[in-house]
Amino acid sequence: MATDRDTVLEAAVGVLSRRPTAHLDEIARAAGISRATLHRLFPGRDALIREVGLLGLQRFAAALDTATVEDGDAEAALRRLVDASVPDAALCAFLAGENQLYDDENVNALWEAQIDRLRALFLRGQQQGVFRIELSAAWLSEAFFDLVAGVGWAIQDGRLAPRDAAFSITELFLGGALRRPAANTPPPTAPSARTTEPDTP
């Protein structure tokens, strides 16, 4: 039976997102294959890392598509994106931790295309009055992606239940990103009653 490349890549994500320096032997064991089979599928570590990175970016692009982030109310779109991206949070963790990936021009171009879509979502939300304008759309984009990555690590380490992931991201992120209503102006102080001096006889 032929080995499914995507299955091997998923196993590699589980190892590399926690241990970026893991040896190929460890990845092969996690995938349930020999190192020779792993080498036939991916001729070297760099090739494997690149394929995992491309898979992660493709999945994140699919999450952006599923969430239809270009449509409608920005807060609702962000909530849809959370639901769509949580299943692949471990891939986001890998993308956040593997800086060497972005030396590849094709990988970097794909990353920029996705982060531009995310940035546009936050910019639209700022224009709609949904997100805080004192935080740049670029920073909100990076912070959101890193939070999804953090959830990926937390789930893998058993510190967060998968069923709580979407709620945790939404509550924590929107708690800081949503625009706060302007503080109510305190009502003017009522003038004190004038004391009438009695007429002197």
Residue 142 domain-assigned (yes or no): yes
Q: Is residue 79 part of a domain?
A: yes
Check: CB of residue 31 under 8 Å from CB of residue 12: yes
- Domain CATH number, residue 106: 1.10.357.10
- Range of the structural domain that residue 123 is part of: 56-177
Rounded-to-5 percentages of helix, strand, coil across the chain: 70, 0, 30
The predicted structure's pLDDT at residue 197: 42
Per-residue DSSP letters for 114-149? HHHHHHHHHHHHHHTT-B-SSS-HHHHHHHHHHHHH
Residue with tokens 């995938």: 31
**Within 10 A of 159 (CB to CB), how many other CB atoms are there?**
10
30 belongs to a structural domain: no
Q: Is residue 82 part of a domain?
A: yes
What pLDDT does 173 receive?
A: 93
Q: How many CB atoms lie within 10 A of CB 116?
A: 12
**pLDDT value at residue 18:** 83
What's the one-letter identity of residue 39?
H
Please tell me the predicted confidence (pLDDT) of residue 16. Answer: 87
pLDDT at 10: 87
What is the C-alpha end-to-end distance of the chain, expressed in Å? 117
Judged on CB neighbours under 10 Å (0-12, 13-18, 19+), 183 is exposed
Q: What is the domain count for the chain?
A: 1
Please list the residues that pair with 178 across neighbouring strands: 131
- Is 171 a member of any domain? yes
Burial of 134 (0-12, 13-18, 19+ CB in 10 A): exposed
| pLDDT tens track, the chain, 201 positions | 445 788 899 899 989 888 888 889 999 999 999 999 999 999 888 899 999 999 999 999 999 999 999 999 999 999 999 999 999 999 999 999 887 788 888 899 999 999 999 999 999 999 999 999 999 999 999 999 999 999 999 998 899 999 999 999 999 999 988 887 765 544 434 333 333 444 444
Note whether residue 23 is domain-resident.
no
3-class DSSP state of 131 = strand
Contact 12, 27 (CB under 8 A): yes
Buried b (16+ CB within 10 A) or exposed e, 77-89: bbbbbbebbbebb
Give phi and psi for 176, each to the nearest 5. -105, -20
pLDDT, residue 3, reads: 58
Q: How many residues does the chain have?
A: 201
Contact call for residues 152 and 17 (beta carbons, < 8 A): yes
Write down the pLDDT at residue 145: 96
Which residues are registered as beta bridge partners of 131?
Answer: 178
